Structure 1
């Protein structure tokens, strides 16, 4: 056991947050903490990190174990570049390397016993340097930064120039580079695109230490964790398995608890009826029997009715006007922000009743496409045509049409006077506004809270074509599930951008991937996309000799990937494997040469020959430099093969 939390309780004033929460984490175990927003998940992590003190309970970290923590919000600044900031996390290895270089310089000036002592120290430090992967630490930093979505061109950006999301990614990179025995991650997938999230999944699954994650990303949790700690109504409940296992077990437990509750209620009513009947006889013997039954009834430990936040809330979306079958047609669309060309020659259509997800890496132009469709910006080329009777409802976190002076309740009630108070409260509860929260003024809300109000308004509107930009940001899992059910039963059309793969999987009937300045069409949900992506990408991405890929050919390709594609993919994999093998052979050869020089330097007759030592050291340094390059080649090929 590496971490133990025993009976953790915490209140802020009269608000009880955590009550007797207990769980433990084993070495190398990957676990999640889940619960609605405000349940106390982040507070629990802060208590573990001793940034908050519990009112009761104890946190125990195993002896000599290190712990690393990524908070949701980072305020990293300074004169360092991105690369320097992450590289600085390897300060102990950098200092070790500097000491080795200093020793190599000193070897040219020493002889005899002094040189022998220095060589002995040098060999010990070299071995230690090798044990901590010293020869590849720069490659490791580069690989982690690329994995988190930074391009090499961005490595030289100053920390002071970065957005909040970029700073969080840098902080995550620093943490992953340091490799503590247990990682505490609070919403680590925020600010990551899908490709970076997939990279992080692989990293954490192979991580040698333990990991404790707070996240609303269900797909991510399914892939990474094997234990779930749920914070529900202040208490902690531990479930073995990933998120899907937890959801099934919780549903089964809840069903059993409800059955148990109603069985007891039925028994209580029966006993009360018997007692009333006995008393109605008004005889001493029957009254005594009634009193005896009352005493037994009083001793029963009453089961509380199981409750679930938002469990009965459903949002029903039903447009008043039915659109034509052709909802949206995009032809030859192009947009650039020089010198960056986002996309060109894009063609696609959206039909009535479809739920189409637009996915792609950060910076590829997904939000730009939504803004062009909504006439917020103009394309450089191409046309966007809406079908007959199409009425757009657009959710854009940057352009929320809210009245700053109104309360949340009035913002909804004034726009929808036909809704009664209960209906308004139910809708707001689905988007995490309960009790007195509904009377907060819009101007006093955070950006995320305003986004939720805007989404709630949009869900109630009479539009028949919903265009949504990252609708699940700032929603907890329960609210996401409510939104998913609403969209699945929606008879209108939906076009949305999201990096929430579970949400995409639940709602999308088709996926458009924005990649290589064009769009690739997948007729299915996210699981289908994953299955076909590697096969499709070679056929899809625009090549100079094949500038125009039409929507018709896209559909045909998506539905029919033949054996030739599979054969080509297998050949590509074999090519990578052969290159990987050659790199491994070269590494082994260089390591053997370096070891041979080490052995030569250890000979007494060489130890006193400074000229010979200098020559050998120079040669070893050249081999070492070549070895580091080969490590980088090997690492890149390995990552390509894994992908």
Structure 2
């Protein structure tokens, strides 16, 4: 056990956030905290760190355990460069390194006992330096920074010139470098691109300490955690397994509670009907029986109606008119901002009914591409052609399509003046805005609430082509589930930018990867992309820029042919390596048999020198055979997978 929370309760005024929470985290465990927006996830993290005081209960850390905490917002105001900020973490190692260099210089000018004394100190210091892995310290700093999306050109940038997201990445890098016994991370993937998230997944999976994560990134949680702490209606429950395991178990429990509630309600109605009937007989005996049943009914331990947030919020996307088969054609698109070249010669088509995800690292131009398609930006070259009867609705991650000075009610009524007050209130209620909430100003809403307002406008638009820029940003997990379900049943066409891999996996029928100033096409969801990424990138690199420059001109069938051709070449390569490995194994086994025969030869068995020579040769061959057998197993497995 590294952390134990017992009977933790917390309220803000009359609003009870957490009630009698009990859980423990063991060494090396990776744990998620999940719940809807406002459930108290960040509050619980702050209580665990001591930043927030619980109304009751205790948080016990293991003796001498070191704790690190990554907040959602980290306004580090430092005049140091990024690299120097991280060097403050390994300052003791850098000081040792400096002292070692000074001692080396001094030893060149000493002799006798003074030299011996200094050399002895130098040896002890060097040993300590090696124990702290000093020789790899600077490389580790650079590896973490690159893993989190910084390139070497960024290293000298001053911290106080960075954006909020960049500062958070620097703070995360420092935290990982410090290697505390337990790390608490609040939305660590918010400012990371896909490659950085994959790197962080690998790092945390191999991290020797414990990790507690608050995140809406379900794919990320599935990869990392083995326990889930769920906060719902102030109740805190612990589940074993990753996010998918938790989701399945919670659904089973909810279904059981709903069934229990409905069965009890049915029994109550039955008893009430019997009581009413007995009273109607108006006989003394019947009335006594009715009173007896009424007392029994009043003693029943009533099952509370389960709260199902997901059923309270409904999103149904429809279209006013079907578009033509060809929805969008992009020809030779190019865009730069001053010296920053984003992309050129971008070509692709989108057909009716497709759900196309555009992915890529931060800064590659995904949002810019979406804005050009939507007509909000002009390209430097190329053209965007819409098909017949195409009507667009745009979901902006910054919610610039919303008016910050308007109330929720006015935002909807001004956009859709034909809707009645009752209709507006009903649609807002479906998105969890009730009562006086509808008169809040858009500018006073949280990011998640603004996202829900944008979804309301999207729902009402009746557009047949949806352009969505990071639609799951700021949405809690339940809201994401609602959106996924709506998009999957949408009869129109969708093109969106997202780094939410779980969302992409659930909704995309095709992926366009904007990488290296080019688009690579994948005919499938995110799992398919991961499976084929190496093959498609390899095929693109081998084709002398033919695919790099005009990837979208490749038809789906040709893309599949390229992927199959690459896979066949890989399979043939593995098969050839396997045959070669088997032949070498046969040769070594033959040599070992001959050596065994020589051991049995009476003339050799009395020759100690020859026996030692044979034994040495046999040992070397057996070691080589062991390596070949391991290689054979790996190649056989790879051949089966391909």
| Shift in CA distance, 392/179, structure 1 to aligned 2, threshold 3 Å | same
Equivalent position SS for 1:266 = helix
Once the two structures are TM-superposed, the CA of residue 555 in structure 1 deviates from its matched residue by 2.9
Distance 1:139 1:184 in 2: 25
| Contact 2:193/2:361 (8 A) holds in 1 | yes
Residues 182-240 of structure 1: CA distance to partner in whole angstroms, max 9, x if unpaired?
A: 11000000011111111111111111111100000111111111111110001101111
What's the C-alpha RMSD, in Å, of the aligned pairs? 2.5
| Contact 2:9/2:17 (8 A) holds in 1 | yes
Residues 564-596 of structure 1: CA distance to partner in whole angstroms, max 9, x if unpaired?
A: 556469979x99xxxxxxxxxxxxxxxxxxxxx
Distance 1:331 1:499 in 2: 25
| Shift in CA distance, 268/565, structure 1 to aligned 2, threshold 3 Å | closer
Which shows bigger deviation, 85-94 or 41-50?
Answer: 85-94
Distance 1:404 1:206 in 2: 44
In the TM superposition, 1:258-297 aligns within 5 A as: 258-282=258-282, 284-297=284-297
Distance 1:401 1:8 in 2: 42
Residues 68-93 of structure 1: CA distance to partner in whole angstroms, max 9, x if unpaired?
A: 00000010122111111122222232
Equivalent position SS for 1:76 = coil
| Shift in CA distance, 263/450, structure 1 to aligned 2, threshold 3 Å | closer
Q: Which residue of 1 aligns with 2:199?
A: 199
| Shift in CA distance, 438/373, structure 1 to aligned 2, threshold 3 Å | same
| Contact 2:447/2:474 (8 A) holds in 1 | no
Once the two structures are TM-superposed, the CA of residue 58 in structure 1 deviates from its matched residue by 0.9
Distance 1:261 1:401 in 2: 43
Query: Larger Cα Rg: Structure 1 or Structure 2?
Result: 2
Equivalent position SS for 2:89 = helix
| Contact 1:271/1:293 (8 A) holds in 2 | yes
Once the two structures are TM-superposed, the CA of residue 528 in structure 1 deviates from its matched residue by 0.9
| Contact 2:2/2:26 (8 A) holds in 1 | yes
Once the two structures are TM-superposed, the CA of residue 337 in structure 1 deviates from its matched residue by 2.4
| Shift in CA distance, 102/228, structure 1 to aligned 2, threshold 3 Å | same
Stretches of structure 1 that go unaligned for 5 or more consecutive residues are 576-643
Q: Which residue of 2 aligns with 1:437?
A: 437
| Shift in CA distance, 570/32, structure 1 to aligned 2, threshold 3 Å | farther
Stretches of structure 2 that go unaligned for 5 or more consecutive residues are 578-642
Q: Which residue of 1 aligns with 2:550?
A: 549
Q: Which residue of 1 aligns with 2:36?
A: 36
| Contact 1:430/1:479 (8 A) holds in 2 | no
Residues 364-411 of structure 1: CA distance to partner in whole angstroms, max 9, x if unpaired?
A: 111111121122222222111111111111222346233344211221
Q: Which residue of 2 aligns with 1:535?
A: 535
In the TM superposition, 1:389-428 aligns within 5 A as: 389-398=389-398, 400-417=400-417, 419=419, 424-425=424-425, 427-428=427-428
Q: Is 1:356 aligned with 2:356?
A: yes
Distance 1:481 1:178 in 2: 36
Distance 1:88 1:446 in 2: 35
In the TM superposition, 1:198-217 aligns within 5 A as: 198-217=198-217
Q: Is 1:162 aligned with 2:162?
A: yes
Equivalent position SS for 2:311 = coil
Equivalent position SS for 1:551 = helix
In the TM superposition, 1:327-338 aligns within 5 A as: 327-338=327-338
| Shift in CA distance, 451/199, structure 1 to aligned 2, threshold 3 Å | same
| Contact 1:2/1:27 (8 A) holds in 2 | yes
Q: Which residue of 1 aligns with 2:150?
A: 150
Residues 582-634 of structure 1: CA distance to partner in whole angstroms, max 9, x if unpaired?
A: xxxxxxxxxxxxxxxxxxxxxxxxxxxxxxxxxxxxxxxxxxxxxxxxxxxxx
Distance 2:179 2:478 in 1: 33
In the TM superposition, 1:211-610 aligns within 5 A as: 211-282=211-282, 284-398=284-398, 400-417=400-417, 419=419, 424-425=424-425, 427-428=427-428, 433-445=433-445, 449-541=449-541, 546=546, 548-553=549-554, 555-560=556-561, 561-562=563-564, 564-565=566-567, 567=569
Residues 99-148 of structure 1: CA distance to partner in whole angstroms, max 9, x if unpaired?
A: 33343344345555554444444333322322222110111111111111
Q: Which residue of 1 aligns with 2:636?
A: none
Once the two structures are TM-superposed, the CA of residue 492 in structure 1 deviates from its matched residue by 1.2
| Shift in CA distance, 388/545, structure 1 to aligned 2, threshold 3 Å | closer
| Contact 1:322/1:464 (8 A) holds in 2 | yes
Q: Which residue of 2 aligns with 1:27?
A: 27
Distance 1:291 1:432 in 2: 42
| Contact 1:33/1:213 (8 A) holds in 2 | yes
Q: Which residue of 2 aligns with 1:640?
A: none
* Bigger RCO (CA 8 Å, 6+ sep): 1
| Shift in CA distance, 153/496, structure 1 to aligned 2, threshold 3 Å | same
Which shows bigger deviation, 300-309 or 85-94?
Answer: 85-94
| Shift in CA distance, 177/510, structure 1 to aligned 2, threshold 3 Å | same
Which shows bigger deviation, 113-122 or 213-222?
Answer: 113-122
| Contact 2:17/2:234 (8 A) holds in 1 | yes
Distance 2:132 2:57 in 1: 37
Equivalent position SS for 2:230 = strand
Q: Which residue of 2 aligns with 1:56?
A: 56
Once the two structures are TM-superposed, the CA of residue 423 in structure 1 deviates from its matched residue by 5.5
Distance 1:188 1:386 in 2: 38
| Shift in CA distance, 372/36, structure 1 to aligned 2, threshold 3 Å | same
The TM-score normalised by the length of structure 2 is 0.84
| Shift in CA distance, 423/260, structure 1 to aligned 2, threshold 3 Å | farther
Once the two structures are TM-superposed, the CA of residue 446 in structure 1 deviates from its matched residue by 5.2
Residues 273-329 of structure 1: CA distance to partner in whole angstroms, max 9, x if unpaired?
A: 344444455555554444443333322211101111242432111111221111100
Once the two structures are TM-superposed, the CA of residue 426 in structure 1 deviates from its matched residue by 5.7
Once the two structures are TM-superposed, the CA of residue 25 in structure 1 deviates from its matched residue by 0.7
Distance 1:113 1:369 in 2: 72
Equivalent position SS for 2:384 = strand
Distance 2:429 2:244 in 1: 24
The TM-score normalised by the length of structure 1 is 0.84
Matched residues, number: 574
Distance 2:168 2:466 in 1: 31
